[in-house]
Amino acid sequence: MERLEEVMRELRGFVAEREWEQFHDPKNLAMAVASEAGELLAEYRWVSNAEADTYSMGDEQRRRIAAEAADVGIALLLLCDRIGLDLIEAIKEKIMLNRRSYPVEQSRGRWRRPS
Amino acid sequence: MERLEEVMRELRGFVAEREWEQFHDPKNLAMAVASEAGELLAEYRWVSNAEADTYSMGDEQRRRIAAEAADVGIALLLLCDRIGLDLIEAIKEKIMLNRRSYPVEQSRGRWRRPS
Amino acid sequence: MERLEEVMRELRGFVAEREWEQFHDPKNLAMAVASEAGELLAEYRWVSNAEADTYSMGDEQRRRIAAEAADVGIALLLLCDRIGLDLIEAIKEKIMLNRRSYPVEQSRGRWRRPS
Amino acid sequence: MERLEEVMRELRGFVAEREWEQFHDPKNLAMAVASEAGELLAEYRWVSNAEADTYSMGDEQRRRIAAEAADVGIALLLLCDRIGLDLIEAIKEKIMLNRRSYPVEQSRGRWRRPS
């Protein structure tokens, strides 16, 4: 079994044991994704772009960042599971769309969508 | 190769072709995670809890929700890749911590952390 | 002086005393707005729509919600101040735009933008 | 009447005409605050700290940033109005708390909360 499937199975068990499915409708889980993303964001709020890579390597910061990234991932996986969406499949499709929206030649070194 | 690794490899290629590593420091990627999470959130903003499951099944909504969930996933994977963090491992560790913070008996059917 | 101007003056003093202008470029302040909004969101994450009004009245919750709403407001005011934007003026203009985007007749009782 | 009160009165009229109070429970409005904050954030996502002030002055960007800041402000004011919270008062109280959490001497030029 893939590691992602394994972790998904663990998450389902964690939620079921606590009878938390009642709180986990897609609206609440989308809120969980966004509030956890806000906490991840808070880690980098006052750190400059130039310092952000080094900052991420500090032991204490790394532990916190890993925990926040995990929280976002957990909420996102629970949401996808709840609505029967295969996240990996959705990402593959989005990459295909992005290839069309950002053609290599017009997008090289530029972050704006070509108009 | 696991599907997650495959998609990660595709993402790395997508970014490298466009020379976007220069924009993808951890601070900017954390902002990307949060702004994409805000778009996912917007999908459910005016939908009630009671309607959220059914809402997620509508064809048009589903397509949009899948795209937004994918965007969050992509940004999160890029961030983890940038700082050398194994997201699946981080999730497993967080689940272990959550098991301690939310013991089954005190947490059943209750969303508050036991004090 | 209007209360909003008074509070703005207080905020400027608070920041200046601590020499925090160096951290308060518009990018960082936009991150502060979003991460504080994530904390406000977290307050309502597991509360249903039906319970949200009553929930907001509980003493302990109210104290927390007030603090989170204030944090969003503070970050937003600091951002507007930094870029020389009159927030009240911007809101008035946005209401005018919204009146056009959501004409009364087509929008009554419907949250979708008329197409 | 203060400009803030004026704009609040306008917002109430805008919502009432469209019979949108039914969507505007505190949970949904907190989601609106966060999703609008995500859009504001998106404006600065790929802009570096060093460029953020200049970026905010460009005509086209300024128009967009003003609209996003206004959207956050509108959602926040609607939420406060819904739960009967005086935002300015809440901000004043939060500034007082912040004065205690970040004493001038220990906080000068440092963004971390003194431990």
| Helix A3-18 / helix B3-17 crossing angle, nearest 10 deg | 120
Segment A13-36 mean pLDDT: 97
For residue A115, pLDDT beyond 80: no
Of C25, C91, C99, nearest to D49 by CB-CB distance is: C25
pLDDT band at D59, cuts 50/70/90?
A: very high
Give the residue from chain D lying closest to B39, CA to CA: D35
pLDDT in tens, C80-111: 999 999 999 999 999 999 999 999 999 999 98
Chain A contact present for B67, CB below 8 A: yes
| Closest to A33 (Cα-Cα) out of D38, B6, B53, B103 | D38
**Complex-level ipTM beyond the 0.90 threshold:** yes
- Residue-level pLDDT at C111: 85
| Per-residue confidence (pLDDT) for residue B112, from 0 to 100 | 79
Of C23, C28, C41, the CB nearest to A35: C41
Contacts of D68 in chain B (CB under 8 A): none
D112 touches chain C (CB under 8 A): no
Residue % of chain D over a pLDDT of 70? 99
* Best mutation target, B27, B45, B55, B68, to test chain D (most D CBs within 10 A): B45
Interface test with chain B among A21, A31, A72, by most B beta carbons within 10 Å: A72
Q: Residue D115 pLDDT more than 80? A: no
To the nearest whole Å, the CA of C26 is away from the closest chain D CA by 6
Which residue, among C1, B42, B85, C57, has the nearest Cα to D28 in the 3D structure?
A: B42
Structure confidence at residue A109 (pLDDT):
94
Mean local confidence (pLDDT), D16-25: 97
In whole angstroms, give the CA distance from residue A109 to residue A106: 9
Interchain contact B42–D (C-beta under 8 A): yes
Residue-level pLDDT at B115: 64
Amino acid A111: pLDDT: 85
pLDDT on residue C1: 78
Mean pLDDT of B73-90: 98
Question: What Å distances lie between residue B92 and A3, A67, B73, B88, B98, CA to CA?
Answer: 10, 10, 17, 6, 10
Angle at D77 between CA C23 and CA D49, to 5 degrees: 20
- d(Cα B83, Cα A93) in Å, to the nearest integer? 25
